[in-house]
Structure 1
């Protein structure tokens, strides 16, 4: 990977700079996509956030599936979601979400969610809910972790993108995700390179969203889809790049271990689990500023040469 070191960014929240305004606009856009229209007892319709990838973002579909399932459950919060991306979604076509009430128990419930576009299934997921006490908790205080204010913004790395990759990299500035991200190295879609081992970045929403527990969990699920695929490119045993290879997320799992406040900082530590043939497995853990383990993730991805 690039050995370049960047200076930490100035505080973004409340700065009024163009990037903050763009990220806030993206959050407004996402919140619009997460407002589900109720069509029936277990049926919902939703739109899409503006596309920055040419297809519906998987994290958006995860969040929408979780919200649809949660709207049919009382007194319990989501603690896990396991989803398969069946086919790519079109960001211009509305979504239809169907919820199957698999089980309702005294402390746990299960839902299955199917997301369709124009009658075609694009995502299927199972979500589980639990009325869980806050204690006991296994906790180890962090030591030696780089704090978010000590790191540059992801967008600062765009200046180092090769000329051929700059138009794609610029999208992270012109149409940024609705999340403030700080990271100590350039992702491979900005500056190509290979490295091994774990990588961590910090992320949070650009503003508060109130005391809405399910919304915070859904937003965390949304953001948990970022940079996992990039880890497969970064840790791949062979030279791969985003021009000669295609990368796709096949599935996504998230386990929520405790209450979430995603308008506060979370450290997302990602590590490669396996690379075999065209598939790779990536794991992640999300800790809050105090060091509590908030959530864990796993995603299998596809990385294969572009057909010639």
Structure 2
């Protein structure tokens, strides 16, 4: 396992602090606040620690306050229900005693049933595509010195965007995005870990889909952007240390909010997970 990947796995490996209470460290990715994907991944891990022989099939979360990346995060798990097939957990994430995220996670025993899925959309293959790190290297001379070290960091999640937007000189585009991604290095055969890492990675490049038609990015002047909520459905087993296509669209933006949808496909075209997110995309005067 690569060192940067090992650190990410350790970030998701929460410390128990009492009955159904856990604590996780925070990482600074150069954003003003804690990266939302980190809190999602840790919340899913906390809930999973309280369930046996069942895997998460859905997560619904609300971001309540910005997180501080210099402080650890405390997670309280509430055991809502354990039925014959499903278990439900409520997770509350806190910093300084204040709630920053609340989530509901549903788990299910393995079960056979009806099968269908939408076809994988056409997309340029990942072979030969530049990674985000390649694009960042070209941007470094044009960003403030204070941001350079964070932008140039080694990244455990390799993202290869298709038709990327220049964050410094964005142009209006259709409300769609596609990227290939994977966690670098070989991971253990732990389906819980793979789910938590997908939750972490699913927040990258997501809300920007709703900014595409407006010719702005999160780096544009006078823009206030933040994730408001996030939902994930896990359909089938997958490995996130192998390439997944993240196909996203934004059907609507209104009221200062942008709505985004996403689907994850493996290299064989199998739909393994879906996401939705509403984001604050406010233009300040």
Q: How far off is 1:244 after superposition? A: 2.1
Tell me whether 33-42 or 172-181 shows the greater mean CA deviation. Answer: 172-181
Work out whether residues 56 and 90 of structure 1, in 8 Å CA contact, stay in contact via their aligned partners in 2.
yes
Work out whether residues 120 and 271 of structure 2, in 8 Å CA contact, stay in contact via their aligned partners in 1.
no
CA gap of 1:147–1:44, structure 2 versus 1, over 3 A, is: same
Tell me whether 157-166 or 121-130 shows the greater mean CA deviation. Answer: 157-166
Residue matched to 2:263? 285
Residue matched to 1:154? 132
CA gap of 1:48–1:172, structure 2 versus 1, over 3 A, is: closer
Partners of 2:251 and 2:140 lie apart in 1 by 29
TM-score for the superposition, normalised by structure 2: 0.91
Q: What SS is found at the alignment partner of 1:235?
A: helix
Match of 2:193 among 212, 215, 218: 215
Provide the aligned length of Structure 1 versus Structure 2: 284
Match of 2:184 among 206, 213, 216: 206
Tell me whether 38-47 or 281-290 shows the greater mean CA deviation. Answer: 38-47
Residue matched to 1:5? none
Superposed, 1:54-93 pairs within 5 Å as 54-93=32-71
Residue matched to 1:43? 21
* Aligned: 1:274 with 2:241: no
Partners of 1:171 and 1:255 lie apart in 2 by 34
Q: How far off is 1:177 after superposition? A: 3.6
> Structure 2: which 5+ residue stretches go unaligned?
none
Partners of 1:134 and 1:151 lie apart in 2 by 37
Partners of 2:167 and 2:204 lie apart in 1 by 12
Partners of 1:178 and 1:121 lie apart in 2 by 28
Residue matched to 1:302? 280
Partners of 2:169 and 2:112 lie apart in 1 by 42
Point out the structure with the larger strand share: 2
Residue matched to 1:119? 97
* Aligned: 1:258 with 2:240: no
List per-residue Cα deviations over 1:87-136 (Å, max 9, x = no partner): 01011111110000000011110000000001010000000001133654
List per-residue Cα deviations over 1:130-186 (Å, max 9, x = no partner): 113365432466475321114211222235549654758855752244201111223
Residue matched to 1:11? none
Work out whether residues 162 and 191 of structure 1, in 8 Å CA contact, stay in contact via their aligned partners in 2.
no
Residue matched to 1:195? 173
